[in-house]
Structure formats: C-alpha cells, structure tokens
Chains A and B, each alone.
Chain A
Amino acid sequence: MRRTYVQTTLNGEVIDFLCEPRQSLLEVLRDELGLTGTKEGCNNGNCGACSVLIDDRVVNSCCVLGVEAEGSEITTIEGVAEGERLHPLQQAFLEEAALQCGVCTPGFIVAAKALLDSEPRPDEARVRHWLAGNLCRCTGYDKIVRAVLKASEMEEVSV
C-alpha cells in the first residue's frame, strides 16, 4: 500500500512522516516516530492509555488514523514537561505516588492537562468525571485524583 505523506505539529515542532492509511496515530507515534510514552492499552477506545491532545482536545490516539493528523497540532506525554522542568501534574503524580505499574499514567497526565488548561480549578467531582475515560487497574484512582487536585493548586497551572 502506498504510504501517505503527512505534515503536522508535534509537541511544538513541525514534523512530517509517511504512514499507511490503516495505521492509527498511536501506531505512528510509537512505531514510526519512536515516541513510546503514549501507551497502547485496550486499542479500542475504552481505556484512555493512548490519550494525546489534538488541537487542544484530548482524544484516544488508537481511534485516530495517522493520516488524519495532517495539519493538526498534537501534544503527547513527551511534550508535557518543559525541558528538565516537570509539569505540575507530573510533579504531583510523583509526590502523591499516583501510579503503580505506570501504563495508564501518560494517558492520565495528558487527559488531566487538557482539563487544567481549560479549567484551572476543577473540584473533585469534575476531575473524576473528566477522567472517566481513563482506566487504572492499580491505584483505585484516589491517588490520581488527589494528584490532579494538587497540581491544580500549584502556581504554574493557574495562568
């Protein structure tokens, strides 16, 4: 099958890649671009482990084709920190021990970033509702919710 040329902005940099139309954005990120921070969980749109931002909205990258990324702006977990400086969400996840096996963590952080970017001070119910599309089988969610609320109180997010 002919590969398609796609140009997109990925974590702030204009990049291009070739992919087959059948390849999901998740496959392109991991297999073509070497960005393995985004995880494959269920690969059918239920678990949120593959969450990325497209044009500031959080989506499951397993349910997006790589060719659909043409002309869009994508943020993955690799684009969340600023150089060596962790994003408040990353810092809070460490401080609150909001992960165990870690497979769901990139998806949770990317999804939570989308929430805090649009609503800097969500309450607990809002956080739990927003993160309903992200599944974690280790933590029981409490520590994750606590970490997101803690991050929301850190100064860097309240811009």
Chain B
Amino acid sequence: MKQIEYLAPASLGEVYAALQNGKTSAFLAGGTDIIVQLREGRKQVDQLIDVKHIPDLMRYGWTGDGGLEIGASVPFAEIYEDAEIARRLPCVIDCAMLVGGIQIQSRACFGGNIGNSGPAADTVPALIALGATLTLGSRDGTRDLPLEEFFTGPGQNVLAPGEVIVKVNIPPQPANSGAFFHRFIPRNEMDIAVVNVGARLDLDAARERIEGARVSVGAVAPTPLFVAAAGEALAGQAPTAEAFAQAADIAADAATPITDMRGSIAQRVHLTRVLTIRALQQALERAREAQES
C-alpha cells in the first residue's frame, strides 16, 4: 500500500474539517473494502478518515414512532445480535448476517456497504424494500434522501465532496406488513450476489388485499434498482401466486444485467424473476405472522 495518513476524528465537526483540508480522502469504517482497494491500487487517497470514533455514527436505536436509526459505522454483528431488531425488522437481519463471513461482519457496516456502492451490495435491496432513507452530513448541515436515489453507477453515488453518511433511517413499517431479503450465490456463504432481491408487502386490515408493496433488485444493473412498477402492480390485488408472478415479470423486465464470472444475462434475468416471487412469498408469511403476534 502507498503511504497514507490516518485520522481518527471524535466528532462530525472534525470529520467536516478533515474533508476541507485540501487532501483526497476515503472513509475507514470496517475497512473490509477500502483497505483492500488501497492495497491493490484500485483507489488512491492522501488520507483515511476513521469514522468509528464518532458517537453519532456508532449508535443505533428506535425512534419514538417505531422507526429504526442505524449509525453508519455500527458493525453488522451488533445489529443481527439484537433480538428486538430480529423480532421487529427481520429483513434487516436477513441482509446483515450474510455480508461476508463472521470476520467481515465483526467490522463491516451499513454505511460502508452503501458508500462502497457496489451494484450487488447485499444490504441495499433489503433497505430499499423497507423504505429506508439516508442522512448525509456536511459542514452546511444534513440532508435526507431515499436510499434508491443515492446510487449513480458502480462505485458511484451522490455523496458530495465534504459529505459523510451519518445514518440509515428505517421508517416505521405499516401494521400488516412483512419484508424479506433473498440472495442467490453458488455457495452457501461468503460470495457476492448473482442476484439479490428485497421485497415488502403491506396487507390491508382484513388480510385479503395488498395495500402496497416495494420491490428492489440488485446485481442486475449498474446500481441497485427500486422497481416501483412491481409494487404498483401488486397494490389492490389479492396476494396470489398469479399476482406475484406478474410483479416478478416486471422486475425481470427492469433488469439489465451483464454476463460475468458469476452468471450470465439469461441466468440473472431468470433469477430476478424467481427470487422476486420467493421474496414476496416470504414477505407475505411475515406479514401474516406480524398480524398474529
């Protein structure tokens, strides 16, 4: 690795100051992407800003209205070991516990997975399905934006110079709602998604109709996709296999994958359809369980 400076600011104010010091920067949270990228020469910066000593980025908790805020640098292991998150937002656990292996999950975090902006990032379709927003901070204040509006291309996003990801905000979920994240990889663990899908279904009080749905697919386009049309097609329908298949066709149509070592275009389009159906089925089960508990 080339020479690099290391800063460990203790507050967001110090981060903003470091971002204005004229040097090129990268953030260091779990280090599981950035350290490898720097070592392999895929990225070069003057300074690494360690964002694990900033209390705002290292805490998570429930908001008064039942939403969940997760500081950008909180390691996945801390999240998936939390029994209340597992009970109330199992879709968050679905994605957090399959990024890398245990060694990665001890350090890697939502802010890093999102900031790295890989098209196959596993936490992203799950969080988009849950309607998550990001809070970005800079010297001028903070701004919130829907997660699906953050990505602009592989490794590219709208984070401006001087900005840092502060937290992920998962809004309170509708009463009769369930969400599920599904990933296909050739092994059981430890691989990058060939396709991944997050889906949420909101049922009406009578449990007979779908009021709304959110579908997001990853690894099939330059950025993770929010397929709004799939959710719109489900709204007002009964949660049947036919309705799910129709939504899955819409998701598959939205996919514009490439062929690479992990899968072909045809396989990825096929998987988009299959995983969307399965994610919707699992989301439906969770929506029904949520009603019963």
Q: Does A48 contact B103, Cβ atoms closer than 8 Å?
A: yes
Q: B8-36 interface mask toward A, CB cutoff 8 Å, 1 = contact, 0 = none?
A: 10000000000000000000101110011
* Chain B, 170-199, CB within 8 A of any chain A CB: 188-190
Q: B75-109 interface mask toward A, CB cutoff 8 Å, 1 = contact, 0 = none?
A: 10100000000000000000000001111101100
Tell me the smallest distance from the CB of A37 to a CB of chain B, in Å: 17
Give chain A residues whose Cβ lies under 8 Å from the Cβ of B40: 44
Q: Does B77 contact A65, Cβ atoms closer than 8 Å?
A: no
Give chain A residues whose Cβ lies under 8 Å from the Cβ of B188: 129, 132
Q: Does B31 contact A68, Cβ atoms closer than 8 Å?
A: yes
Q: Does A21 contact B4, Cβ atoms closer than 8 Å?
A: yes
SS of B interface (majority): loop
The stretch that binds B, out of A53-61, A76-84, A89-97, A148-156, is A53-61
- Give the distance in Å from the alpha carbon of A54 to the alpha carbon of B102 in the complex: 13
Q: Does B31 contact A65, Cβ atoms closer than 8 Å?
A: yes
Asked whether any CB of chain B lies closer than 8 Å to the CB of A105, the reply is no
Q: Does B101 contact A133, Cβ atoms closer than 8 Å?
A: yes
Give chain B residues whose Cβ lies under 8 Å from the Cβ of A114: 102
Tell me the smallest distance from the CB of B279 to a CB of chain A, in Å: 21
Q: Does B35 contact A65, Cβ atoms closer than 8 Å?
A: yes
Count residues of chain B with CB under 8 A from any CB of chain A: 31
Q: A30-55 interface mask toward B, CB cutoff 8 Å, 1 = contact, 0 = none?
A: 00000000000001111010010010
Tell me the smallest distance from the CB of A21 to a CB of chain B, in Å: 4
Give chain A residues whose Cβ lies under 8 Å from the Cβ of B50: 68
Give chain B residues whose Cβ lies under 8 Å from the Cβ of A157: none
Neighbour of B31 across the interface among A63, A70, A132, A133, CB < 8 A: A63
Give chain A residues whose Cβ lies under 8 Å from the Cβ of B48: 21, 65
- From known contacts A65-B28, A65-B35, A68-B50, infer whether A132 and B190 are also in contact, taking CB-CB under 8 Å: yes
- From known contacts A44-B40, A129-B189, A132-B189, infer whether A24 and B103 are also in contact, taking CB-CB under 8 Å: no
Give chain A residues whose Cβ lies under 8 Å from the Cβ of B4: 21-22
Q: Does A63 contact B102, Cβ atoms closer than 8 Å?
A: no
Q: Does A111 contact B3, Cβ atoms closer than 8 Å?
A: no
Q: Does A57 contact B77, Cβ atoms closer than 8 Å?
A: yes
Q: Does A48 contact B35, Cβ atoms closer than 8 Å?
A: no
- Give the distance in Å from the alpha carbon of A90 to the alpha carbon of B32 in the complex: 28
Tell me the smallest distance from the CB of A146 to a CB of chain B, in Å: 19
Q: Does B189 contact A63, Cβ atoms closer than 8 Å?
A: no
Q: Does B103 contact A22, Cβ atoms closer than 8 Å?
A: no
Give chain A residues whose Cβ lies under 8 Å from the Cβ of B1: 22
Q: Does B104 contact A43, Cβ atoms closer than 8 Å?
A: no
Q: Does A45 contact B100, Cβ atoms closer than 8 Å?
A: yes
* Chain A, 109-124, CB within 8 A of any chain B CB: 111, 114-115
Asked whether any CB of chain B lies closer than 8 Å to the CB of A136, the reply is no
- From known contacts A46-B190, A57-B106, A58-B106, infer whether A22 and B2 are also in contact, taking CB-CB under 8 Å: yes
Asked whether any CB of chain B lies closer than 8 Å to the CB of A67, the reply is yes
Give chain B residues whose Cβ lies under 8 Å from the Cβ of A57: 75, 77, 106-107
Give chain A residues whose Cβ lies under 8 Å from the Cβ of B102: 58, 111, 114-115, 130, 132-133
Asked whether any CB of chain A lies closer than 8 Å to the CB of B5, the reply is yes
Asked whether any CB of chain B lies closer than 8 Å to the CB of A1, the reply is yes
Q: Does A59 contact B107, Cβ atoms closer than 8 Å?
A: yes
* Chain A, 1-31, CB within 8 A of any chain B CB: 1, 4, 20-22, 24
- Give the distance in Å from the alpha carbon of A114 to the alpha carbon of B77 in the complex: 13
Give chain B residues whose Cβ lies under 8 Å from the Cβ of A24: 35, 39
Tell me the smallest distance from the CB of B249 to a CB of chain A, in Å: 34
Give chain A residues whose Cβ lies under 8 Å from the Cβ of B189: 129, 132-133
Q: Give the 3 A-B residue pairs with the shortest CB-CB distance, closest first.
A: A133-B101, A21-B6, A132-B189
Q: List 9 A-B pairs, Cβ < 8 Å.
A: A22-B1, A44-B36, A60-B104, A63-B30, A64-B35, A115-B102, A133-B100, A133-B103, A133-B190
- Starting from the known contacts A24-B35, A45-B35, A65-B28, 4 additional A-B residue pairs (CB-CB under 8 Å) come to A21-B5, A58-B102, A62-B35, A68-B52
Footprint of A on B, CB under 8 Å?
A: 1-6, 8, 28, 30-32, 35-36, 38-40, 48, 50, 52, 75, 77, 100-104, 106-107, 188-190
